[in-house]
Structure 1
Amino acid sequence: FEVFSSANEMFSLIVLNFPSLWAVSLCYSKLICKEGHSGPTYESMQNVFERQSFRPAVNLSNPTITNISFTLYAVLGVNEKTQILTTFLWLRLYWQHEFLVWDPDECDGVTRISLPVKQLWSPDIIVYEFVDDDVSQACPYVYVNHTGHIRWDRMLRLVSSCNLEIFSFPFDVQNCTFTFGSYMVSPALTFKEMSGNSKRYLEASGEWELVDILGETSILQFGIDEWDIITFWVVIKRRPVLYVVNLLIPSSFLMLIDILSFYLPPHSVDRASFKMTLILGYTVFLLIMNDLLPSTANGTPIIGIYFSVCLALMVISLLETVIITNVLHHSSMKYQEVPNWVRVVILKHIANLICYRWPEDAQLHPSVPQKDKHENTNTALPELQQICQYLGDLHAHLNSLQKENELQEQWCHVGYVLDYLLFRIYLLLISCYALVIICMWCVWISHS
């Protein structure tokens, strides 16, 4: 080729010499073979190589149709924050080169050869969702059949944009679009065959599982230009075992320990310190596992809401322990009588509602101190009078201790009834919340 000073000069030369180029194209409709050579001669193929910039069609009014298929080999990464999907594809292109045609009988029975792809015309296939450079290894050769049918196998590291839905994480299903476009393109295999081939190679490949590959062909028009496009919908599903083992099960164990902590006796064990230590451990667990949780500006995954609600429930259980501790200790230390409405509402109605039973010898009413039946007579000796005074003081002290014990016992019953009531409410909240979460995840799993 000559070097032209401008694109207009080159275009003018092509237009003026179009008949001659057309004649040359007709001359090279078949490659030449010689005896003693396996395949077409280098000289005949060199003439084709020199015309690699032109579409290989004898009649330029006939379109060159490119057939395309791919196999999804691996899902390399899913970045939920930037909404980017990185995949590795085995791409296969087919098209017809009308100048690379020879007779196998004249070419020592050779029916297929391999040629450098840089020396031949190749279709301009683009992916509309591409957001980064293709750094995959290039395949330098194509296979050419004696009928002019070319097959080009290439590897493609596709970094594409995808609208990722993470609300149902880690049981999420993603539907990403791959749009291949060219002036004339059509699928080489059915979408079902592409899906089956991809599933065979993707079975043991990382975190994601291929559900299906769907697609359709359509025409995209830009002004007077028309582009044939093939749109593939690649549906992939996350394998949730890693997140269930590392996130859900440890969190469930910590919640179970928090529930069992209600069985610690609140009057003799510092339950509040135990719960505060448990909350601190749960907070550290969330900080460590924060890198495993996806994050986007569009929304929060339901598992993040699950962890936040679990932490809130632990705080609620700590507040319940504070209330019970106040009832058991603060009120009793003031030697206050249990109000009558507390006896009726808590010790009678609520206790019957939650089926709480206290020991039969427990007294709900403080005993009235008995008067000293031993009256000191004025006729008693001074020594006896002093002894009687000591005995009276000892009797009064014992009555005071008995009254304090009875008040503590009554407030203990009040605290236990409230503790049982709040514990059952806490269990009801956790059960309802767990049921809702499990049902939502089961619905997503069944739909996927």
Structure 2
Amino acid sequence: MIAKTVFAFALLYLSCFQIVTGVTEREVANMLLAGYQKEGRPVRDPTQAVVTSLDVLLIQIIKLIPQRQVLVINFWIVQRWRDDFLTWDPAEYGNISTIRLGSENIWRPRLVNYNRQHAEGWSELPDTNAIVRSDGEVIWTYPITIHSTCVLDIARFPFDVQKCPLKFGSWTYDSLDLKLVNHSKTGNIDYFAANGEWELLSFELELNQVEHSCCPGVPWDDMTYTITLQRRPTFFLFNLVAPSVTLALLTVWGFWLPPDSGERLSLCLSLLLALTFLQQTVTAYLPDTATNIPLINVFFVANILLVGVSSILTIFTLSIHFNSVNLPPVPNWLRCLFCLEQSDSSTCRVNAPHVNEVDDADAFFATNGANPTWRLVRRVKKFIRQLNEERGRKTHNLKTEREWKILVGKIDRCLLIAFIIALVVITASVLGPNK
């Protein structure tokens, strides 16, 4: 009875604290890495290429730096290939079919982004673990933030659409040694986080095979992922476009002020300063490039030019208003252009004495000059003639000044119409639908 009880307790003890003997993942890893060389390609037949598939998961558009024309993006990179020297029989190793190895300990394709900024250290890759299966398949996944060049087209700013290509490929292996295949037909956006400034339109993939000048006749594989982004214009509409249109409307209403008003010149100068400040603000969001000019800058320049013309016209009108003496007559070509009446030179001498009357009076005073009465009459006649000449000059100056003011007023109305047309056309071009 005692023996049976001891035997039962022994069985219970062994069932609770059973020591399992077998193979661990560490032993499999040590077995695989013993004598493993990570420098050579992992193929037993040197004539065979390592078939590598690449899958790029777009996670986040961090920012697009317009001044440097650089796109900062966060990716998950998934690479798959077969390593002939990392195989084992799961039946001989405790049915272990998958292990994790440090990627720095095995051979890696080391695919790089060709248009990545070199100053960032573009050859550096994170040393994450790789999943190794018993048949030799290796899956290496790692996150990475890339600074990639992206040439911007800012002609439609702030309604622009940007296409940024990212070319991935091997830096040292041609397609005879490393064959690239696409794991999916397009880029993966299943885990994409939306960006507040840019909207993702597409993430396309294209598999290319090119020949480089270093190695004529030898093909090289590369995979080009094209990110198409559209700017969200709400921020710029409220903070740049709306104030610009408001200032342009103020410029239009400024033409209703009389040209000889000093307040109009103050308004024009204030508008010039405000438009220049807004233009400098817009420039901060644009790259330093001369290949194309954004329409919003054309909008600002047109407004600045028209306000400048209005300021010049105002200064000219004020100079006419406060300096009306010795004004030249309006040229005939301006009269014809703005439909003014032709000048009459006879009006320059209003009520002036007739030439024959003056000659007869001078002859009479010459024969009767000794008489004091006639000398007095002669002086009065001379004074009246001077008064008539002075009145004729004043009448001529007043008429010339009035003609110049009429001309300036017509030019002002023409500029008002031209400004309204230019404002409508440029605003429609800037705020119109994106082409």
TM-score if structure 1 supplies the norm length?
0.65
- Look up the match of 1:122: 108
Instruction: Measure the CA separation in 1 of the matches of 2:426 and 2:86.
Output: 69
- Look up the match of 1:146: 134
SS in 1 for 2:235: helix
2:43, 2:50 within 8 Å by CA — same for their partners in 1? yes
Instruction: Measure the CA separation in 2 of the matches of 1:184 and 1:280.
Output: 61
Instruction: Measure the CA separation in 2 of the matches of 1:58 and 1:347.
Output: 95
CA RMSD of aligned residues (A): 4.2
- Look up the match of 2:163: 175
Deviations 1:71-117 (A, max 9, x none): 23333444555544433322110011233334445544433221111
Change (3 A) 1:235 1:214: farther
Q: Within 5 Å, which residues of 2 pair with 1:215-364?
A: 215-220=206-211, 222-223=215-216, 225-266=218-259, 270-325=263-318
Letter of the structure 2 residue corresponding to residue 423 of structure 1 = L
Instruction: Measure the CA separation in 2 of the matches of 1:135 and 1:281.
Output: 48
Q: Percent identity?
A: 23
- Look up the match of 1:185: 179
Structure 1 residue 297 displacement after superposition? 4.7
Instruction: Measure the CA separation in 1 of the matches of 2:239 and 2:56.
Output: 35
Deviations 1:262-313 (A, max 9, x none): 3335566631122122212322333444322321254433332332222111
1:211, 1:237 within 8 Å by CA — same for their partners in 2? no
SS in 2 for 1:318: helix
Change (3 A) 1:429 1:234: closer
Aligned match of 2:60 in 74, 90, 113? 74
- Look up the match of 1:384: none
Structure 2, unaligned runs of 5 or more:
1-19, 171-176, 342-349, 351-394
- Look up the match of 2:37: 51
Instruction: Measure the CA separation in 2 of the matches of 1:57 and 1:411.
Output: 93
Structure ID, larger Rg: 2
1:320, 1:422 within 8 Å by CA — same for their partners in 2? no
Change (3 A) 1:323 1:191: farther
1:85, 1:159 within 8 Å by CA — same for their partners in 2? yes
Structure 1, unaligned runs of 5 or more:
1-33, 350-367, 369-402
Instruction: Measure the CA separation in 2 of the matches of 1:52 and 1:244.
Output: 56
Aligned residues: 356
2:163, 2:226 within 8 Å by CA — same for their partners in 1? yes
1:174, 1:235 within 8 Å by CA — same for their partners in 2? yes
> Structure 1 residue runs of 4+, over 6 Å off?
333-339, 341-349, 406-415
- Look up the match of 1:87: 73
1:35, 1:107 within 8 Å by CA — same for their partners in 2? no
2:207, 2:221 within 8 Å by CA — same for their partners in 1? no
